[in-house]
Structure 1
Amino acid sequence: MKYKCFFLLLFYSLFFSQNKSTDSLKVLDYDKLKNKFYEYYENEDILKTKYVAQYYLQKAKKEKNKLQIAEGYILVHFNEDFPTALKYIDSLAIITKDVKGTLYPSRTYLMKGNLYFKHDYLKKALDNYVIALQYAKDQENQKQIAYANINIAYLNSYLGKYSKAAKIFRYYLYNSNNLTNETQHNQMRVSLINCYIELNKLDSANILIKEGKVSSFTNKSKYSVNQYTYFTGYSYLKQKKYKEAIPELLKAYNFFSGINDNNANYALYSLGKSYDGLNDKEKAVQYFTQLDANIQKTNKTFPQLREVYTYLIDYYKNINNQEKQLYYIDRFLKVDKKLDEQFEYLSTELYQKYDTPNLLEEKEQIINSLENRKMLLYVSIGFLCIILLFLFLLYNRSKKIEKKHRKIAHDLIESIERKSLEMPENRQDVVQFQNIEKVDIEEDKIVRTTPEDVVQFILKELEIFEKKEFFLKKGTTSASLAKSIKTNTTYLSEVINTYKGKNFAGYLNDLRIDFALNRLVKDKKFRSYKLSVIAEELGYNNEQAFSLAFKKKTGTSLSIYIKEIEKSTSL
């Protein structure tokens, strides 16, 4: 009975408090209700924001006011999970289908883009922003054009195109002309700070951080205060002031983790980097591990995660914990795949769907500004002639370069075939080694610190390393080679520099490329492999690294070299 009474009292308490809250909202018009919603939203008061949003929507439906029903759907979707929020945005699209004016449908696509962006569906976010921008331009709605440009700038910032993003943020931050409200103004300031820090414009970033902190304290926005606290710590991190960075980052993390916000993950990343800067690897691993756990829960990624997983992989490799090493390799591959897919799509589509139309629009504006049609014709013809001339010169240049590369490839093939005839395969490495010794004798004036017996030992080991093709093993470093032949990196580096005439990286790279040149000529099956497979067999981490190394060493490209081999073998 006592418990029943308690629940009855609780029920009446809630009932009357709700009625009281409803009565207080009844006196507010739509604008004041919206202001009340954003006031609660800024201060992370989720229950009150939900209540105000639902009241707003019910009021609009009761009054059968389509535009306000649309606003209600927008307010309600903010604090819902992704599937529910998406349903509200779809309802927004339906209710505004026949609404006249310039606000819709561009606003609907902007809202949908923001929702996809929030939940890390960046491909769909971009597609919706581009559609919103096109509608806004067609309807000449400057406010919606601004919002679309700003949101696309967030994507450019995510891609690491900080200069391009900063240009947009800076423009609308200081030239808003009442296009953006205070909340958006603050978001742009925050994003511009991030761009400045990444571009190492730390003085400019710190000025904006101070400005933002003053504004946040004035508006009593805990969320904004902690955003600027985070950037204070991040700025210290960039300056390598790790001890100053950690307290600021911890404050930000404690706040954002308490409200389940993605900014907590950025704080964890920065804390890990700070402790790594202090050479406290255990602490760095602790924060990076927590970051991985968060990413698994939310599946929200960001580019710096690649650093996190490679750090964890190396850490557990060094302490010989293969189980953890394997686990983080698997996590790295999953996250890397997602990031690659997003980057590939965004990089291509941003250029095609956003940058190119903007350039064409700028061109059109220039053309329209020309009053004299005759002059316009002359300019156009002249411009076309220049382009044709430029294309012709580019074509000639490319043909000359191609011819040069083919000749280099042809000469390389002839050289390899001639050597094969002059000298048996199993004698090649020995002759190379003897030639190196001869060069060393002529360069005897070089001051060496390595004992002579150690030099001869290392040279013998290098001969075995070359002869048995151990240089093809992936992950070979001067440290790993020194360890395997039981010497130190200092002696090994000095011997390679003195007797091979190059540093370790150049020595390893030359061995691999020389091997590739020979095998491609002699092994038809090897030539048929994909570039990624060839790179893997030669010990490179990826095909780009191999392609660059091949061209730098030979002066020609791999594709031209293979074509010339095929041509010579078909004769």
Structure 2
Amino acid sequence: MVLKKWAYILIGCLLIFSTGEVKGQSFYVELRNIYDSYNSNDETALPYVKRYIQKAKQEKNYTELKNAYEDYSNYSSNKAVKIKYADSAIFAAKKAGNNDLLSSAYLYKGSLYYFYDKNYQSALAEYLKAYQYSKNSNDDYLKYKIVYQIGLVKSYLGYYDEALVLFNECIAYFEPKTKEKNYPTQVYNDSKGYLNSVHQAIVCYRHLKEYKKADSLITVGFQLAGRSKDFLSEKDYFVKCKGISDYYHKNYQSAIQNLNQALPVLKKNDDAYWISVSEFYIGKSYLGLGKENMAIRQFEKVDSIFKKRAFIFPELQDNYDCLIHYYQQKNNSQKELAYTKDLLKVDAILKKDFPYLSSKLHTGYDGQILTEAKNKSENQNKWGLLVIIILAVIVLLLFFGIWKYYQNKKLVELKYNELEKKLQRQNKTEESTSYENISVQGKGLISADIFADLQQKLKDFENSLGFKESGLTIDRLANSFNTNKLYLSQYINDTKGSNFSKYLSALRINYITQLMHNDSKYLRLNIQGLADECGISSRTNFSNLFQEINGIRPTDFIRQRKKELGEGSTS
């Protein structure tokens, strides 16, 4: 490989100092062949690229000048220089007067913002310009590169279903291209497009918890990437995916091994995003193995990367939750506060990015897709218009659903906190109602002796958990008390402030809620199991009563309590 590289350098020197023996387009082809196999950020390619730029400028060949500027950006290791030459490529594309070139140049600049800084706002702005200039293009390869990049932004926003649709479109386009007989460069580009699309589809399936589909695509990725040495870097990205999959399958040692194997390539590519994700899952795997101290070191590595690069990935909030929980346990309030502030920074970035990117995607891409579809449909038939309206409603419902989701999340947290306070109050002994304080109607029906007898028997009934008996009625309870149901009903009305049915439901729900709060094993029961435990026969009736009495659904209570106890799972 070293000899091959030096051979290319020698040929390059001959070209650079040649007096014009190589003419026309062949000059660009021959010169580019010298450095085409170099890795990105390898500045030994730059002397040849400078010669490329000089030649294109002399000939006012703006198409080649655009390519040369992008090459210089690619092989420079300086991020500011990368952006500068990307801007020059856009300028050259404008001079060439070719919309495909201009679209490609904007797409390239956007990919720099995405890959090196995860600056989604700047990246999306360039992608949308690329999309505008590609609308009338016949270059399908260019169009699907744009679709892929839009998919990346949707994935970042958490629209995994929508992103998956776009990545599957890319897979459907690129996969047959990898088997066609074409120029080696084009086959390489199509294969890389296919591998990248498969990789991102795996990411979406993982976040959607469709682990079997993700694992299946990991196998596909390994098969293609393993065919050529050109895709060793891509292969390590699938090794990284395998490591994350191992974590979710609780193969923690294998997860650590695979993620550590992938890290050198991720670091070589300066891919801070996937470095952070990998370090995070190594930490989670150490937690799974019970090696808490090693896990915390991993989470602190992720924190260090965030402080340097200030970008977001879905697991970052969980990373800080783990650190905060750890230092809470260690009574280290200083570090707990520091990581809490970092978590608030993450939340602030999300709040800044999410509305902006969602709006831009809607107006700049989704909205235009809908508009174009609408224009086509109007030329076809009136039913097409109905389809567009339905699609528009779906988009609006999607945004409303996202807003509603966050509102509901806040409401659940509020209701949970209120319920916890209620549970604390219930632990205090309640004062019994005296005979003197009951209603006139009650005194007319129940004597003081009967009142005292019912008071003791009902107290014994509650203490012995008699209310857990399924199918219990007031008639049956009155019989067991050797009294009549009118006395019992009146007593419950006066002392409990409700009828027998509501009184019994409150006893059962309060009992099971206390169990769920105090003993985590009850959090692992399903709804029917919880209903059976407190004497309610129907799971639907249990859920309705639980929400009516506690103000929160049982599933939401379980989720919040698990989160509070640190038993929640990372998505």
1:233 matched to 2:243: yes
- Answering whether residue 380 of structure 2 is matched by residue 362 of structure 1, we say no
Aligned counterpart for 1:214 among listed residues 223, 228, 246: 223
The answer for the alignment partner of 2:198 in structure 1 is: 189
**What is the CA deviation profile of residues 459-515 of structure 1, one whole-angstrom value per residue up to 9, with x for unaligned ones?**
xxxxxxxxxxxxxxxxxx989x98xxxxx8899xx9xx98xxx99xx7999599xxx
- Matched AA of 1:130: L
**1:251 Cα shift?**
0.6
Other-structure match for 1:446: 465
Partner residue in 1 for 2:322 = 311
CA contact (8 A) 1:102 1:140 kept: no
> What TM-score do you get using the length of structure 2 for normalisation?
0.62
- The one-letter code of the counterpart of 2:378 is I
| 1:158-197 equivalence runs, <5 A | 158-176=156-174, 181-197=190-206
**8 Å contact from structure 1 (residues 233, 248) kept in 2:** yes
Residue aligning to 1:53: 49
The alpha-carbon deviation at position 206 of structure 1 amounts to 3.0
**In 1, Cα distance between equivalents of 2:89 and 2:284:** 43
Q: Tell me the CA shift for residue 157 of structure 1.
A: 1.4
Q: Distance in 2 between matches of 1:268 and 1:433?
A: 56
| Counterpart contact for 1:120–1:300, Cα < 8 Å | yes
SS at match of 1:340: helix
1:286 and 1:366 mapped to 2: Cα distance?
57
Q: Would the alpha carbon gap of residues 225 and 84 (structure 1) be closer, same or farther in structure 2, given more than 3 Å must change?
A: same
Q: For the residues of structure 2 that align with 1:511 and 1:184, how far apart are their CA atoms?
A: 50
Residue in 2 aligned with 1:279? Answer: 290
2:341 counterpart of 1:344: no
In the TM superposition, what are the counterparts of 1:424-443 in structure 2 within 5 Å?
A: 434=432, 442-443=461-462
The 3 A distance-change label for structure 1 pair 131 and 431 is same
Aligned to 2:406: none
What is the Cα deviation at residue 99 of structure 1?
Answer: 1.7
* 2:449 alignment counterpart: none
Deviations 1:177-222 (A, max 9, x none): 7696332222112212222233333333333323322333332133
Q: Does the 8 A contact of 2:12 with 2:34 survive in 1?
A: no
Alignment match, 1:202 = 211
Structure 1 residue 445, shift from structure 2 partner: 5.2
Counterpart CA distance in 2 for 1:217 and 1:86 is 33
Contact 1:230 1:267 in 2 (8 A): yes
Is the partner of 2:373 in helix, strand or coil? helix
Name the CA shift for 1:122/1:226 in 2 (closer, same or farther; >3 Å): same
Shift of 1:432: 7.0
Is contact 1:197–1:238 with CA below 8 Å preserved after alignment?
no
TM-superposed deviation, 1:289: 0.6
SS at match of 2:304: helix
Deviates more, 1:352-361 or 1:27-36: 27-36
1:97 correspondence with 2:94: yes
CA drift of 1:45 comes to 6.9
Q: 2: CA distance between counterparts of 1:251 and 1:437? A: 70
Cα distance in 1 for partners of 2:520, 2:219 equals: 48
Unpaired runs of 5+ in structure 1?
1-14, 371-375, 395-427, 450-476, 483-487, 513-540, 542-571
Contact 2:100 2:133 in 1 (8 A): no
- Matching of residues 19-168 of structure 1 within 5 Å: 21-23=12-14, 29-31=27-29, 33-34=31-32, 37-41=35-39, 46-78=42-74, 79-118=76-115, 119-139=117-137, 141-168=139-166
Distance 1:332 1:317 in 2: 15
- Conserved 8 A contact 1:303-1:339: no
Give 1:139 shift: 4.8
Tell me, what secondary structure is at the counterpart of 1:175?
A: helix
Q: How does 1:528-547 map to 2 (within 5 A)?
A: none
The answer to whether the 8 A contact 1:159-1:343 is kept is yes
Change (3 A) 1:260 1:432: same
Maintained 8 Å contact 1:102/1:141 = no
Task: Give the aligned residue type for 1:446.
Answer: L
Match of 2:415 in 1: none
Q: Tell me the SS of whatever aligns to 1:218.
A: coil
Kept in 2, the 8 Å contact 1:113–1:124? The answer is yes
Relative distance call for 1:325 and 1:163 in structure 2 (3 A) is same
From the superposition, tell whether residues 355 and 322 of structure 1 become closer, same or farther in structure 2 (CA, over 3 Å): same
**In 2: Cα distance, 1:317 partner to 1:61 partner:** 63
Q: Which amino acid aligns with 2:14?
A: D
Q: Residue 285 of structure 1 aligns to which amino acid in structure 2?
A: I
CA contact (8 A) 2:374 2:384 kept: no
User: How far apart are the structure 1 equivalents of 2:432 and 2:520?
Assistant: 23
Contact kept? 1:61, 1:69, Cα under 8 Å: yes
8 A Cα contact 2:12 2:48, kept in partner: no
Q: Which amino acid aligns with 1:346?
A: L
Q: Is 1:298 aligned to 2:309, yes or no?
A: yes
Query: Matched residues in 2 for 1:359 and 1:210: separation?
Result: 36
Q: Which residue of 1 aligns with 2:267?
A: 257
The residue identity in structure 1 corresponding to 2:279 is L
Shift in Å, 1:281: 1.7
Q: Secondary structure at the match of 1:103?
A: helix
Deviation at 1:431, TM superposition (A): 11
Kindly provide the amino acid, as one letter, of the partner of residue 110 in structure 1: L
Single out whichever of 245-254 and 105-114 deviates more from structure 2: 105-114
- Measured in 2, the distance between the counterparts of 1:318 and 1:490 equals 21
Q: Displacement, 1:360?
A: 2.6
**Alpha carbons of 1:77 and 1:341: their partners in 2 closer, same or farther (altered >3 Å)?**
same
Q: Give the deviation of 1:316 after TM superposition.
A: 0.5
Distance (whole Å) between structure 1 residues aligned to residue 547 and residue 378 of structure 2: 56
**Percentage identity across aligned positions?**
26
Q: Distance in 2 between matches of 1:448 and 1:38?
A: 79
How many matched pairs?
416
